[in-house]
Amino acid sequence: MRSLPLRVSGVLALCALGLYATQPWKEDARRWSEQDVERILNDSPWAQAAPATFALADEGPPPPVPIDSIPQGGMPNPHTAASDGRWDGGVGRARHDEPPVLNVIVRWDSALPVRQALAREHSATGLTPQEYETHYVVTLVGLVPAGRYDSPQMVTRSGGTPDARNPEQMLENVMRYSRLYVPGKTALTPDDAKLDTATGALHLFFKRSDAITAKDKELFLETRFGSLSIAKKFRIKDMLYQGKLEL
């Protein structure tokens, strides 16, 4: 049985309270508790919260992709939804001088500690070992609601008729506006994207490259989902696992 979507909002609240003081990824994976696994999958060097900002109407021209032509993002938990008149998928209520924000988790599913944690949680991602070996797999959790689409469980960007009921066009547009880069080096762009319709996990595939090394300092992911923009920075020195850079 596939696991339910991650409780992103609950994890963010726990992190804010500082309830996690240890670093389980520095211990033997066989000793990880259930709380350790959840920490690695939601609040670790490989899985971090990122604000997805929804631009206000007066901040500039409309996005290249009309917002009503793609699925609207949001949290799977209906109790996190807000009715600010601009978005319907769990975005926080906007103040008069601030755009609404949706918190998502950006997670490196191809990193060994994340794969080990997913295995301990018995979470089948639907991805193959070969995909992990040849690509950095960066997953966005909380952006697309679980079960939003009446589609096959794992949808790729090819095939199907793009419309509001099918996610293929959304995947194409997310790929178009996504990049992974180290400052001063050539950016990587995804060559594939997949959506797990059961959990809402959105996977971006970047070909592995020697442009990212343990000697680098920072690594950035940037992407867009309709009018939502996400920019997340990772500190590479924190992403060492058992003495090796894991991405």
- pLDDT higher than 90, residue 109: yes
- pLDDT higher than 60, residue 150: yes
- Residue with more model confidence, 89 or 236: 236
- Residue with more model confidence, 84 or 226: 226
What is the rounded (10 degree) CA torsion for 170, 176, 178, 180?
A: 140
Q: How far apart are CA 94 and CA 230, in angstroms?
A: 17
Q: How far apart are CA 107 and CA 111, in angstroms?
A: 9
Pairing status of strand 154-156 against strand 192-196: antiparallel
Give me the amino acid identity at 242.
Q
Residue 93, both tokens? 């209520």
- pLDDT higher than 50, residue 147: yes
Q: How confident is the model at residue 169 (pLDDT cuts 50, 70, 90)?
A: confident
Burial class (CB in 10 A: 0-12, 13-18, 19+), 58: exposed
**C-alpha distances in angstroms, 119 versus 2, 114, 115, 122?**
12, 9, 6, 5
Q: How confident is the model at residue 89 (pLDDT cuts 50, 70, 90)?
A: very low
pTM (global) more than 0.85:
no
CB 15 within 8 A of CB 210: no
pLDDT value at position 72? Answer: 32
Domains of the chain, residue spans: 8-245
Q: How confident is the model at residue 47 (pLDDT cuts 50, 70, 90)?
A: very high
Q: How confident is the model at residue 76 (pLDDT cuts 50, 70, 90)?
A: very low
- pLDDT higher than 60, residue 15: no
